[in-house]
Structures are given as structure tokens and as C-alpha cells.
Structure 1
Amino acid sequence: MSCTHMLCLPAIILILSIFRLTYCEVKKFPLLMPNVYPNRDELYLCTPVRVVDQKSFYIVGFEPNATMNVAHHMLLFGCTSPGTTDEYWDCGEMAVAETDSNLRKASPCAEGSHVLYAWARNAKTLELPEDVGFQVGKGTAIQYIVLQIHYSKKFPDGVTDNSGLFLMYTEEPQNKLAGVLLLGVGGFIPPRSVTYMETACQIEEDKTIHPFAYRTHTHSLGRVVSGYSITTDKNGNNHWKLLGKRDPLTAQMFYPVFDRSPISYGDRLAARCTMDSMERNRVTKVGPTNKDEMCNFYLMYYVENDTPLKMKYCTTEGPPYYHWFDEGNALNNIPDREASSLD
């Protein structure tokens, strides 16, 4: 890898005094914002790092260097090519004309977007299981790593920020390669209602994935987010296995999944966010600001002696256009109460 100034990774890494159970050397790489100045509310900024072309690296952990009073959330993307190669840029979905004219506007990735990690609400360090790592660099579609930070509030004049992540990595090949599947929902939430935002999709690749961690994300209206894997028997009956369930307003870190059963070709993945707008008199749409909402369930998994899924996202239009119970979705035995209750 190299930092945003295109220095070679060995010149700037810090060697950790820890070893994984496989006894491979683990090193730490700082991917931090280059003292940026968020000059307006609801600003999304991205900064890239280019991976050294001649080598493969395996990311085995993520150490946040941020607090929720500064950063609303962070996302880490793997890209074939970044939105730009600028030191940093405006990468919000809703870039506006008032943004500093010297700041380019672009998506996090121009090509080959993969979510590798997500952070919010003072989540703690994540270390992957033994022999599991995200492969980046040579032999992969991930040639750049891009950090995105959502800053909710404009900074005072003269105050800058270098929040970000320390990436724990090794050059020792890992035989279990990690991936992340993001289940997300669009649509809108009516005023004074409890609304279910739901998504589901089928695994259509001849691979077996092993789930090991999950993360939930909403803004202020989220009460429960739940995720499931679904198998179907020969009679067409769905069997729902709970992967994870949480109050999304608690620390939005990755937690161990409830059920580590393998998920294979033909199985489905599904997620629901229960949103409570009983005290809100306006419609709330899905969008990037604190006035909007989001419904995301991140599933982190590994494959053994294989490559991760090509499918990176599982999304639907959401309410009022999509529900689990809609005719044609072929879902039955829906765990309606369990999916929306923390009991």
C-alpha cells in the first residue's frame, strides 16, 4: 500500500508487538484524514491510499481513530479505481454548489466498489478470526482503499481533523478470505407511524460463505435492525436463521453473529429495520443527512480456499414499494414479531 502522498507502505508502517495465532507478523497502517477542514454541515470527505501493485496484503483488523462527537460515521471502501486521486475530495451523495470550489466532487470509487468496514457511535477495534483476512493488492480487484467520513457539523474556523483508521495487516497469505455484504433499503417513512424497511436477495453464486460478524446502522428513527439467512426445504417452506439483531442506536460496531451456519447457493439473506416516527410530523426519506434515514445491515463473512462473493450489495426500493410479505417475493414463515423485537 501507499498513503495519499504515494509513499511506499514499508516507509510509514508501524510494527505491532502482536502476532496472530498463525504467528504471522501483523503490522499497522495509518489511514487518516490529512488535516481536513469540514467547511459546512453534512459534509462527506474521502481520502485514498494506493495499494502496492506487486504484492498482496491481508487486512486482519481495524482500529478506529475517531469519536462520535467529530465523525457521524466512517466507511472503508476497496476500489479498483478511486473517485479521484486527489488527496481528499467531496464524496457525498448530495454534493452542493456551496462546497469549496477547490474541492472536487466524486464518488468514493470510480470502479469496483467494495465495502470493507464501517464504524459509528464510538465502536471499538475489530480483529478478524484466526486465518481470516481481506485480500487487497496483487491478484484482486482492490487496488485502492478509500476512507469516507461523514462530518455532521461545520468545524470552527482554524480547526482541522485527522480522524480515520489504523489498518492491521499481514503479508502472510490467509486461507480464509473475508468479504462484506451490505443489505440496504430505500424508500420513505410516513409521519407518526411504525414502518418496516425490508430487503431480501438470493445467493446465486456457487460458493459457500461463513458468516462471523454483523453490524447495524440507522439514523435516529431506528429501533431494531435484524438480519437472517433463509433456507428452503423441498416443500417450499422457508426456515429463517437469525444472524444478528440490535438496537442501532447503541455502539455501531461489528458483533459476532448469532448463527454461524454456512450459507450456500440458493439460500436467501434478508434484513429488516423497524423505524419509529410516531413523534415526527413529516415524511422521512432515505438519504445521507441526519434529517434523512438509512437502513443497513452489514454481514461480514469468509470463504475457505475460494474468493468472496461478486455480489456486494443486496438492496430493495423499500416502503411503500417492497415488503417481505408482497406476493411474488416467495417468502413465508416470516418471523414478524421476532424481527422487530429485542426480546
Structure 2
Amino acid sequence: MKFVTSVLCLYLAGVYGTPYEKTELRMPGIQSPADDTYLCRAIPLDSAKEHFLVGFEPHASMHTAHHMLLYGCAEPGIPAELDQIWDCGEMSHSDQSEFRAAPTCASGPQIIYAWARDAPSLALPQDVGFKVGGDTNVKYLVLQVHYMHKTTQPDFSGITLESTDQKMAKTAATMLLVTAGGMEPHTKEHFETACVVDEDLEMHPFAFRTHTHKHGKAVSGWKVTESKDGTDKWELLGKMDPMKPQMFYPVEDKDVVLRKGDIIASRCTMENEEDRDVVVGATGKDEMCNFYLMYWVNGDRVLADNTCFSPGPPQYYWGSDAGLNHIPEKQADQV
């Protein structure tokens, strides 16, 4: 894109004998040593054969885990064979943490799945899967859990992953549209980003997810195409109140296709009623503006870069900086 601790494996058999594997990737009864602690755990994948992730069942409560992210990594932050939990809060590492500090991924990070606010399970469409292991660049899966507060009870938050080694006709990927930025006291602000699809692909979006902290009012994602006369056409991919369960919801139009030259854009509408500046950051006192878009492609070639980032307000806006027009202001701001 261009910018404008144990693991439990269960083997299931379908009606016709197709093997499905369920793997639990969970925290091993740890306690968060401080507020806004990010902890990670890794598992290695089968290096001899590719597998396809087709379902995700979360095991967590929003009263304990602010959010969970599942990353695919070429290398985890610390060697997986150590089977250790590590502090992966690179922007919010606590001196009180007893855990070794390291990034989520040492190399090749890509977000596969995300959860927050008691979202339910997710099953991918038929014949669609995230390709991992084997000759792919995803050699490890890493679970990241953000604990909003210090905990005193053992925590086992995590995800049950459903996978198969049966080849899928369609490969899934998750794109993240994200901004930096900030807002002054007692103001309404738009956190926006937009990127051009610069690869010769046909992307079929099927699910979206939004994420902000407490100031978020509406988050929306859009396909934007420019006509010959320079007029922008906006098609809604998905929109949600980020205070609702932050699950992956079906896209607005299941037949929409993203192609080379199309623009993918997102907006988070925020309101700051506090007497302080609020900036994007890693802690609960900060904000975040994330729009996740799951899509599939025929075959196995997905975007080389699945991140779309902008510096956010006051440095970046759709109209003045991305040059977009006919912006659906009212539709983007309301849910």
C-alpha cells in the first residue's frame, strides 16, 4: 500500500474425514504487574507444511483484557522454544514488570486477528483461510494481551484457533488502517487516513472491525474511486460505534471488490470533553484509531504491505492533505 502456558491441540474429523485442528493459545495463569501492561506468548508453526486458519474463539473478559491481538511473525520477540511470557509494550513498558522486554515480533510482523469488548467468535467464509507455516513468512503465532489494570488473580486469556492443512482456494489477510494525532480539550476531531492500492490484485473484503478508546463516537471505512472528471465516489465498507463489542462484522456490501488504483480510507470521529489534550498512544489514558479490514484473494498473493498509516490531526485530513472530494461528512460521523 502507498500512503495518500500450555498449548492444547485437539484434532477433529469432519463428516468426510477432513482433519481440523483446534489449538489453544492462552496465557498460563499470569498476573499483570501494572496498569497498561502488554504481555506476549508465542508458539512455533509446522515448518514442513502450510496450514490455514479458519476460525477464532476468544477466551477473555473486557474486565481483565482491554484487547487481544494475534500476530503472525517470521521471528517472535524472544525465542519461542523458551516458552516464556514477555513484556511487549514497546511504548508503555513498566519498570514494575518482572517480564523481559522485547517487541511482539523480532521480524515479519502481521496482524491476523483482533478482539476487544467481549466480541464473540469468528468463522471465516467457506474456502477462505489465513495461510501460515510451511514456506510462508509466518513461522510463529504470537498472542498479545493488553491488560488495562494490574491484576491479582491468575489470567488465562487467549484464543482457540481452528485450522486445517487442506489447501484453501482463497487466501485471507487483514489490513490495518491506523493514525497518530491528537485533539485539544473540548473539541470534536476527525482521525483520518487514506491509501492507494498500488498492486495488481483483486481484493474481496468480507469483515471489518473498529477500535478506539473512550473518546470514539464512530469509525468508518470506505472504498473511494476517482471518476474521469475528478469526482470521488465513496462506497461504505463498514461503520460501527466503537463502544459496542469490537468484533469483526460483515462488510456493508459483500460484492465490493478493491482493485489497483482504488483508495481505501478510514475515519474515527472523536469527542474530547476533558480539560486536557488527548493523543494517540498505548495506554488507556491515550486514544487509538484503528479500522481492520479482512479480505480474501483468489490464490495466495495478498498485499505486500497491509498497513495504511497517517500522522492524523492536526497534520492530516482527507480533504486538505489527501485531496479527496465529495466526502460523506454526515454519513461518516453518525452510526
- Judging changes above 3 Å, is the alpha-carbon distance between structure 1 residues 172 and 272 closer, same or farther for their aligned structure 2 residues? same
Using the aligned pairs only, state the percent identity: 45
User: What does residue 91 of structure 2 align with?
Assistant: 94
Equivalent position of 2:100 in the other structure: 104
Show the counterpart of 1:56. 50
Q: Who is 1:195 aligned against?
A: 189
Pair 1:340-2:333 in alignment = yes
- Aligned partner of 1:173 in structure 2 is 167
Deviation at 1:47, TM superposition (A): 0.3
Match of 2:280 among 275, 286, 311: 286
The aligned counterpart of 1:117 is 113
Give yes or no for the alignment of 1:300 onto 2:294: yes
* Counterpart amino acid of residue 171 in structure 1: D
Decide whether the 8 Å contact of 2:37 with 2:93 is kept in 1: no
Give per-residue Cα distances to partners, 1:143-179, cap 9 Å, x unaligned: 01000000011112xx211110000101100010000
TM-score normalized by structure 1? 0.92
2:213 to 207, 214, 219: 219
Tell me the alpha carbon deviations over residues 243-286 of structure 1, each in whole angstroms, 9 at most, x when there is no partner.
00010000000000002311011101000000011x21100010
Task: Give the Å deviation of 1:184.
Answer: 0.4
> Which amino acid counterpart does residue 163 of structure 1 have in structure 2?
S
Q: CA deviation at 1:15?
A: 2.8
1:126-141 to structure 2, matched below 5 A, reads 126-141=122-137
Structure 1 residues 24 and 240: CA distance shift in structure 2, 3 A? farther
CA distance in 2, matches of 1:216, 1:56: 30
- Aligned residue for 1:146? 142
- Assess if the C-alpha contact under 8 Å between 1:95 and 1:105 holds in 2: no
Aligned equivalents of 2:284 and 2:31: distance in 1?
20
Task: State the 4+ residue runs in structure 1 displaced beyond 6 angstroms.
Answer: none
* Residue equivalent to 1:155: 151
- C-alpha spacing 1:23/1:224, structure 2 compared with 1 (3 Å): farther
Q: Secondary structure at the match of 1:122?
A: coil
CA deviations on 1:284-322 (whole Å, 9 max, x unpaired) are: 010111100000000000000131111111010000000
Cα distance, 1:100 vs structure 2: 3.1
Report the Cα distance in structure 1 between the residues aligned to 2:119 and 2:38, rounded to whole angstroms: 19
Q: Which runs of 5+ in 1 are unaligned?
A: none
Counterpart-to-counterpart distance in 1, 2:168 and 2:229:
39
Give 1:27 deviation, angstroms: 2.0
Give the secondary-structure state (helix, strand or coil) at the position aligned to 1:293. coil
What is aligned with 2:200? 206
Which one-letter code corresponds to 1:185 in the other structure?
A: T
SS at match of 1:27: strand
Give the CA RMSD over aligned residues. 1.6
